[in-house]
């Protein structure tokens, strides 16, 4: 017999746990759900747009009654649970219905705080929490003219805005002199107040409400200073309190919320709790992201995986008032030992403040321009030191070594038809529609459903902003600890550390030790693991061909029609008449449709059929060419200018140096492609300052520049150091590449890696620590001993012939038996 | 429909595929890590990418062009993507892979 699971509380947190459980272990439990509201599960975050007449109740349903029936879940909507009999293991509802249980999830959410004022029970006084409250407010807006909202926090302002959109005159009465004082400082609060006033809201603040006036029904409020404000509707929006009544009555330990451990179990281990009713390590949460993280852990534990732990969340806030951009996160009040970085442009209505402590962001308040909210939040959660880009940090990510255009426009001002994702042609309207219609909450979900931000990723900031604006105050980004892929709970760093520490030497060994969820992983983790193992155990690890992307298996780039491109290595971009003639002969012999000169000074033969690849390579080998690795997460090209051998401005022999470097480095595998360049003078004709590593020759030596990128986001290199000889160039360059491949995550180019770890870190390891640099250089050379075999020659000689030849069917069909 | 011998099962790489051309029809024959064999038209429902060139994981293949993940048993796209590619019956007998092909495809091929 299946075990019995009872969910008390049919809201977002509890139902998310059920959904997660159904994907992990669909057959383990019979599930019964109790909810006090007479509905299916709806998206509480979107109540404000319903109030503001921007959405309907039907728009915000997450699980309809039919959904419960289809999934075999017994739903008791509108039947509140009154008691849990823990001795007899039964949940008892108001109707008298009893449900036996093996496990219970408490997800009773929170209650709005009702101020103990005289007149609080008068008709026309409401709180703001559920669909019934919204319906009461909408009805009141049809009859009455004036509303008072008590409380100028997030919920209060959204209620005020909604009522005003419904045609009421609205006054907000707020205790503090700053709106949303828990999320905003005084300056941002003042800007917010001004723009809400421009929208027609009135404010009385600081002011305390003394009583609610009225006999039959409410007619206004009286303030502590004696002033009266007339009202046909009074909304109390002064905060929420975890709903612990049931837990307390059932003898479960509570403080502010229901106390839980890191597996979300209460003091009775059969009873879990999740969501707003919970108190975990002293903190209560009211935002969606933490609740969803908790739900994952509960589901994981109920499914008996036993590996998920909840470690608490950092949260950020957004206000859901159409046309107002506002973001805050962390501790933004500052104090002893902290510094404040402030940007203020009142005319444009832009205000940004970062609170910094020990070179790290502790908190952020953004008003009017929130494009970089997600970035600051990331820097904050990851504890990144900002000293390397501090002078530009307030201007945003687009100004940190990167002149890309991503996130240049405030997303709220864009029309529905504005193209957000240029790779996949996805417009703002498509994304917003998908978020609301398909109930999406995370960046990954938006990527899966719309394809926006799923190719090059340069629009990620804009998509996150759209998510935040659409979901509003309760949205917060994915958890800080990001697993490698859905097959595992471990991050790239944790996996690499385990490979080294436990001396894991094959993909199955890694998957076994780290309890991979899918038996042979997926297209995301397998290539990453293959690279990590190759990097950790050079010469020892046996490359897993089936875990490489097709380009690295076929040693050519797959094209949109399924043919391949062939790029022979042309050392330093220097070739000869004989080589060119050989390439021309191959192109004619195999009827290559397109010949193209590449940006890296190579010649690309496009449109070669897969079965022809080995013979094309054999012919190129015969002319002295080897693979150019133009298909790999590997060293691609070293681009050079002609240098002092010919150029009247040249200061050093840049072509000779480029060729030398390429001879040392070719064949090396990396987390992503690596492109180098050597320019013979600061005129920089080889464009060395947008390469992963660029050498700029000067009269007195060689400048080394790192972390450039000419791709999705143009990023100029950072200056690393200057050296005197070619030998030093090669030592520094190899050490840099070794550090990159030991530390960067798979598919992370040098530019984002350096922005993540900081240039100071790279300088310390490569420039300041000479002994460490020599060790890195030695490890690079050692690995090269095992990687400098030409993959084309091996395959031209017959290695993996089955990869290139199609199957041959037996021409005589057998009769059907 | 006719069953055609397309070679020994060992000719198929584990967690991999080979392509089979029958006239103008390209078929991808897959072998998973557990030794199960599947056959699909070698054409992703998204932009026609050659599925035989993708990474095989579990009973799924990821298209090499834009990372659509296709279920080998049903030919259907998984996750939020929608679309499918035709499947072909396939079985292993005495170490040989037998594939059921429409007669007209074979007629065209010969």
Query: Is the distance from CB of A257 to CB of A279 less than 8 angstroms?
Result: yes
For residue A213, report the phi and psi dihedrals to the nearest 5 degrees: -95, 150
Give the chain A residue nearest B51 (alpha carbons). Answer: A562
Give the chain A residue nearest B54 (alpha carbons). Answer: A550
Pairs from A24-27 (Cβ < 8 Å, separation ≥ 24): A24/A299, A24/A300, A24/A303, A24/A305, A25/A302, A25/A303, A25/A304, A27/A2
Interface test with B, best of A809, A812, A815, A816 (most B CBs within 10 A): A809
Q: Tell me the percentage of chain A whose pLDDT exceeds 70.
A: 95
Work out how many CB contacts closer than 8 A connect A with B.
Answer: 101
Query: Is the distance from CB of A42 to CB of A56 less than 8 angstroms?
Result: no
pLDDT in the model for residue A477: 53
Interface test with B, best of A807, A810, A814 (most B CBs within 10 A): A807
Which secondary-structure segment (H or E) carries A48? helix A47-51
Cβ pair A558:B53 closer than 8 A: yes
What average pLDDT does the segment A564-571 reach?
97
Instruction: Tell which residue, A272, A257, A281, has the closest CA to residue A302.
Output: A272
Contacts with A455 from chain B: Cβ below 8 Å: 66
Q: What is the mean pLDDT of chain A?
A: 90
More confident residue, B4 or A289: B4
Q: How confident is the model at residue A817 (pLDDT cuts 50, 70, 90)?
A: very low
Cβ pair B7:A807 closer than 8 A: yes
CA of B104 vs chain A CAs: smallest distance (Å): 12
- A556, HSE (Cβ side, Cα atoms, 13 Å): 29
Name the CA radius of gyration of chain A, rounded.
32
Residue A55 neighbours by CB distance under 10 Å:
16
pLDDT reading at A256 higher than 50 = yes
Q: Of A178-192, A447-461, A766-780, where does the model show the most confidence?
A: A766-780
What average pLDDT does the segment A119-135 reach?
94
Cβ pair B53:A814 closer than 8 A: no
Cβ pair B47:A560 closer than 8 A: yes
CA of A446 vs chain B CAs: smallest distance (Å): 10
Give the chain A residue nearest B79 (alpha carbons). Answer: A448
Cβ pair B3:A817 closer than 8 A: yes
CA of B73 vs chain A CAs: smallest distance (Å): 17
What average pLDDT does the segment A740-769 reach?
94
pLDDT in tens, A728-741: 999 999 999 999 99
For residue A781 the two structure tokens come to: 């050379």
pLDDT in the model for residue A196: 92
CA dihedral in degrees (A396, A401, A402, A407; nearest 10)?
-10
Pairing of strands A693-698, B69-71: unpaired
Please list the residues that pair with A8 across neighbouring strands: A34, A106
What gap in Å lies between CA A255 and CA B1, rounded to an integer? 71
Cβ pair B57:A522 closer than 8 A: yes
Burial (0-12, 13-18, 19+ Cβ within 10 Å), A56: exposed
pLDDT reading at A482 higher than 70 = yes
Tell me which DSSP letter residue A200 carries: T
Find the range with the poorest average confidence among A181-190, A272-281, A553-562: A181-190
pLDDT in the model for residue B1: 79
Interface test with A, best of B57, B58, B81 (most A CBs within 10 A): B57
Find the range with the poorest average confidence among A100-114, A184-198, A569-583: A184-198
pLDDT reading at A800 higher than 50 = yes
pLDDT reading at A307 higher than 90 = no
Cβ pair B57:A448 closer than 8 A: no
What average pLDDT does the segment A43-71 reach?
89
pLDDT in tens, A81-103: 999 999 999 999 999 999 999 99
Cβ pair A813:B3 closer than 8 A: yes
CA of B88 vs chain A CAs: smallest distance (Å): 15
pLDDT reading at B47 higher than 50 = yes
More confident residue, A315 or A108: A108
Q: How confident is the model at residue A802 (pLDDT cuts 50, 70, 90)?
A: confident
For residue A433 the two structure tokens come to: 């529609």
pLDDT in the model for residue A547: 96
Q: How many residues does chain A have?
A: 817
CA of A815 vs chain B CAs: smallest distance (Å): 6
Query: Is the distance from CB of A709 to CB of A754 less than 8 angstroms?
Result: no
CA of A520 vs chain B CAs: smallest distance (Å): 6
Query: Is the distance from CB of A460 to CB of A422 less than 8 angstroms?
Result: no
Closest Cβ–Cβ partner in B5, B16, B20 for A546: B16
pLDDT reading at A403 higher than 70 = no
What average pLDDT does the segment A794-812 reach?
85
Is the dihedral angle over the CA atoms A474, A455, A409, A745 positive or is it negative? positive
Instruction: Tell which residue, A417, A324, A414, A433, has the closest CA to residue A368.
Output: A324
What average pLDDT does the segment A766-794 reach?
96
pLDDT in tens, A332-384: 777 888 999 999 988 888 999 999 999 999 999 988 888 788 788 878 888 88
pLDDT reading at A404 higher than 50 = no
pLDDT reading at A20 higher than 80 = yes
pLDDT reading at A816 higher than 70 = no
Contacts with B58 from chain A: Cβ below 8 Å: 518-520, 522
pLDDT in tens, A414-450: 788 888 887 778 888 889 888 888 888 888 888 888 8
Contact B18/A at CB under 8 A: yes
- Contact residues of A toward B, CB < 8 A: 448-449, 455, 518-523, 526-527, 545-547, 549-551, 554, 558, 560, 562, 802-803, 806-811, 813-817
What average pLDDT does the segment A777-788 reach?
96
More confident residue, A764 or B104: A764
What average pLDDT does the segment A552-577 reach?
95
Closest Cβ–Cβ partner in A455, A547, A550 for B54: A550
Instruction: Name residues whose C-beta falls within 8 Å of residue A187's C-beta, 6 or more positions apart in sequence.
Output: A342, A344, A351, A353
The ipTM assigned to this model is 0.94
pLDDT in the model for residue A425: 80
Query: How many angstroms separate the Cα of A107 from the Cα of each of A7, A231, A289?
Result: 7, 35, 15
Q: How confident is the model at residue A274 (pLDDT cuts 50, 70, 90)?
A: very high
What gap in Å lies between CA A122 and CA A221, rounded to an integer? 12
Instruction: Tell which residue, A490, A660, A630, has the closest CA to residue A569.
Output: A630
Cβ pair A520:B57 closer than 8 A: yes
CA of B67 vs chain A CAs: smallest distance (Å): 8
């Amino acid at each position: 017999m299946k075990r019995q699971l009872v969910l008390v509380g049919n809201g977002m947190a509890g139902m998310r746990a059920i959904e997660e459980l159904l994907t992990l272990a669909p057959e383990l439990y019979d599930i019964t759900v109790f909810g006090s509201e007479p509905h299916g599960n709806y998206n509480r975050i979107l109540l404000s747009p319903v109030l503001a007449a921007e959405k309907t109740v039907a728009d915000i349903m997450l699980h309809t009654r039919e959904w419960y029936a289809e999934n075999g879940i017994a739903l008791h909507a509108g039947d509140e649970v009154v008691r849990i009999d823990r001795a007899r293991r039964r949940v008892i509802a108001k109707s008298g219905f009893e449900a036996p249980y093996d496990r219970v999830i408490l997800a009773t959410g929170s209650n709005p705080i009702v101020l103990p004022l005289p007149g609080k029970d008068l008709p026309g006084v409401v709180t703001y929490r559920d669909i019934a409250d919204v319906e009461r407010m909408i009805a009141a807006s049809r009859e009455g003219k004036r509303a008072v909202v008590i409380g100028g926090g997030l919920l209060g302002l959204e209620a005020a805005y909604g009522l005003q959109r419904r045609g009421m005159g609205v006054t907000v009465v707020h205790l503090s002199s700053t709106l949303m004082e828990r999320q905003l400082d005084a300056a941002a609060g003042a800007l917010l107040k001004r723009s809400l006033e421009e929208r027609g809201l009135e404010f009385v603040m600081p002011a305390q409400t003394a009583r609610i006036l009225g006999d039959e029904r409410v007619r206004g409020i009286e303030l502590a200073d004696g002033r009266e404000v007339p009202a046909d509707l009074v909304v109390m929006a002064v905060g929420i309190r975890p709903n612990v009544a049931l837990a307390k009555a059932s003898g479960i330990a509570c403080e502010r919320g229901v106390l839980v451990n890191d597996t979300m179990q209460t003091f009775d281990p059969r009873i879990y709790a999740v969501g707003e009713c919970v108190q975990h390590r002293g903190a209560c949460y009211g935002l969606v992201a933490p609740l969803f993280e908790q739900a994952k852990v509960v589901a994981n534990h109920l499914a008996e995986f036993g590996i998920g732990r909840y470690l608490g969340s950092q949260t950020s806030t957004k206000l859901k008032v159409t046309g107002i951009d506002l973001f805050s996160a962390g501790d933004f009040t500052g104090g002893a030992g902290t510094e404040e970085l402030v940007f203020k442009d009142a005319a444009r209505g832009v205000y940004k403040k970062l609170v910094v402590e020990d070179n790290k962001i502790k908190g952020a308040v953004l008003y009017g321009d929130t494009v970089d909210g997600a970035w600051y939040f990331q820097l904050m959660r990851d504890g990144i030191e900002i000293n390397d880009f501090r002078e530009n940090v307030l201007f945003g990510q687009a100004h940190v070594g990167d002149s890309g255009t991503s996130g240049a426009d405030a997303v709220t001002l864009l029309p529905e038809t504005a193209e957000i994702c240029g790779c996949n042609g996805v417009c703002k309207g498509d994304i917003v529609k998908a978020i609301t219609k398909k109930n999406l909450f995370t960046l990954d979900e938006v990527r899966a459903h719309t394809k926006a931000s799923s190719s090059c990723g340069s629009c990620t900031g804009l998509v996150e902003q759209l998510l935040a604006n659409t979901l509003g105050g309760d949205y917060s980004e994915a958890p800080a600890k990001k697993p490698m892929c859905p097959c595992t709970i471990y991050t790239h760093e944790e996996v690499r550390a385990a490979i080294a520490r436990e001396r894991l030497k094959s993909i199955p060994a890694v998957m076994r030790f780290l309890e991979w969820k899918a038996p042979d992983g997926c297209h995301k983790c397998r290539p990453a693991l293959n690279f990590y193992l190759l990097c950790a155990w050079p010469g020892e690890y046996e490359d897993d061909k089936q875990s490489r992307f097709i380009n690295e298996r076929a040693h050519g780039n797959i094209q949109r029609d399924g043919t391949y491109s062939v790029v022979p290595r042309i050392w330093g971009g220097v070739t000869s008449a004989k080589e060119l003639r050989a390439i021309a002969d191959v192109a004619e012999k195999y009827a290559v449709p397109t010949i193209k000169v590449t940006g890296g000074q190579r010649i690309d033969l496009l449109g070669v059929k897969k079965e022809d690849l080995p013979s094309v390579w054999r012919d190129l080998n015969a002319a002295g060419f080897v693979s150019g690795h133009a298909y790999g997460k590997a060293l691609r090209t070293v681009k050079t200018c002609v240098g002092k051998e010919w150029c009247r401005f040249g200061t050093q022999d840049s072509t000779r140096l480029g060729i030398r470097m390429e001879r040392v480095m070719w064949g090396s595998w990396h987390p992503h492609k690596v492109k180098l360049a050597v320019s013979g003078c600061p005129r920089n004709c080889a464009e060395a300052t947008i390469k992963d590593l660029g050498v700029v020759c000067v009269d007195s030596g060689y400048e080394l520049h790192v972390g450039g990128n000419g791709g999705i986001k143009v990023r100029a290199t950072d200056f690393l150091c200057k050296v005197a000889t070619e030998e030093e160039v090669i030592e520094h360059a190899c050490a840099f590449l070794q550090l990159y491949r030991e530390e960067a995550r798979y598919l992370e180019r040098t530019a984002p890696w350096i922005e993540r770890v900081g240039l100071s870190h790279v300088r310390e390891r490569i420039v300041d620590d000479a002994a460490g640099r020599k060790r890195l250089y030695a490890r690079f050379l050692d690995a090269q001993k095992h990687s400098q075999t030409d993959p084309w020659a091996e395959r031209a000689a017959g290695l993996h012939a089955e990869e290139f030849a199609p199957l041959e069917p037996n021409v005589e069909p057998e009769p059907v038996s | 429909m006719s069953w055609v011998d397309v070679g020994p099962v060992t000719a198929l790489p584990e967690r991999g595929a080979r392509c089979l051309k029958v006239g103008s029809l390209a078929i991808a024959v897959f072998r998973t890590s557990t030794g199960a064999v599947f056959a699909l038209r070698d054409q992703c429902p998204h932009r026609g990418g050659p599925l035989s060139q993708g990474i095989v994981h579990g009973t799924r293949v990821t298209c090499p062009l834009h990372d659509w993940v296709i279920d080998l048993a049903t030919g259907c796209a998984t996750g939020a993507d929608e679309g499918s590619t035709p499947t072909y019956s396939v079985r292993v007998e005495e170490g040989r892979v037998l594939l059921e092909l429409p007669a007209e495809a074979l007629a065209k091929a010969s």
